[in-house]
Amino acid sequence: MANVSIDGDNLIVEIEGLDKLWALKSRLVIPLTNVRGATVDPGISREAKGFRAPGTHFPGVITAGTFYIHGERVFWDVHDPAKAVVIELADERYARLVIEAADPRATVALIEGATAVG
């Protein structure tokens, strides 16, 4: 699972617990100007993940790390697809972040509120 917060002009995604090991990341910092939007998307887990580089994928258990699909780099950290949030990015290392949030709707509202201000 990931904890999302806003710090000044940045979106902060903190990877929690053992997911740091599976995702090979502990923190992502993205300028809000590069965040295009966020949505709750429980169906995303049924989409193809692409190639792991590096990452972990145990179907039905966890998808975490960096994956390449259709020429795009996507970061995943999801155990429970019902709690999946997709964050669309521009001009960043990743085209999208697909993370699990404790409260997906509140996470999307936080991101959308912060990007609407900028």
pLDDT tens-digit series, residues 5-40: 999 999 999 999 998 888 889 999 999 999 999 999
CATH, range 2-117: 2.30.29
Q: Vertex 45, ends 44 and 50: CA angle to 5°?
A: 95
* Average pLDDT, integer, range 78-96: 96
Mean model confidence pLDDT for the chain? 91
Q: Which H or E run contains 77?
A: strand 72-78
pLDDT of the residue at 47: 75
Q: How confident is the model at residue 117 (pLDDT cuts 50, 70, 90)?
A: low
Q: For the chain, which residues make up each domain, given as ranges? A: 2-117
pLDDT tens-digit series, residues 37-51: 999 999 887 776 777
Of 14, 13, 9, the closest CA to residue 34 belongs to 9
